[in-house]
Amino acid sequence: MDNNQQFYAVPFSLVGLFITDKSPEESINTDLTPEELEKLQEIISKMLFKEGVKVAIYPSVVPPDQANEAMKDLENMIFGEE
């Protein structure tokens, strides 16, 4: 790997909705394993982006009025506060 190679981390989001007769808290799978999360990241990377793009995700349900704050939180988790 070239030590002078520059990488870019660009926030993105997938927006969707789910329909259920249960409460949102009862509908979310809280047993997602690290291996399943890695597989999901690989699928998203392969299906949405060109070869060589890595994806990091943090699945959560966010009310629309809190989406910007959630993106900032994810960015801080990945890159730190600075």
Give how far the C-alpha of residue 61 lies from the chain's centroid of Cα atoms, to the nearest Å.
11
What are the backbone angles phi and psi of residue 35, rounded to the nearest 5°? -65, -40
Stated length of the chain:
82
In the block, residue with structure tokens 């809190």: 66
* Confidence at residue 10, expressed as pLDDT on a 0 to 100 scale: 85
* Confidence at residue 61, expressed as pLDDT on a 0 to 100 scale: 77
Torsion-angle region of residue 7: left (phi > 0), alpha (psi -120 to 50) or beta?
beta
Residues 6, 58: Cα–Cα separation, whole Å: 24
Model confidence pLDDT, tens digit, residues 44-53 = 999 999 999 9
Model confidence pLDDT, tens digit, residues 31-65 = 989 999 999 999 999 999 999 999 988 877 777 77
pTM for this one? 0.64
* Confidence at residue 21, expressed as pLDDT on a 0 to 100 scale: 94
Rounded percentage of the chain residues whose pLDDT exceeds 90: 30
* Confidence at residue 79, expressed as pLDDT on a 0 to 100 scale: 72
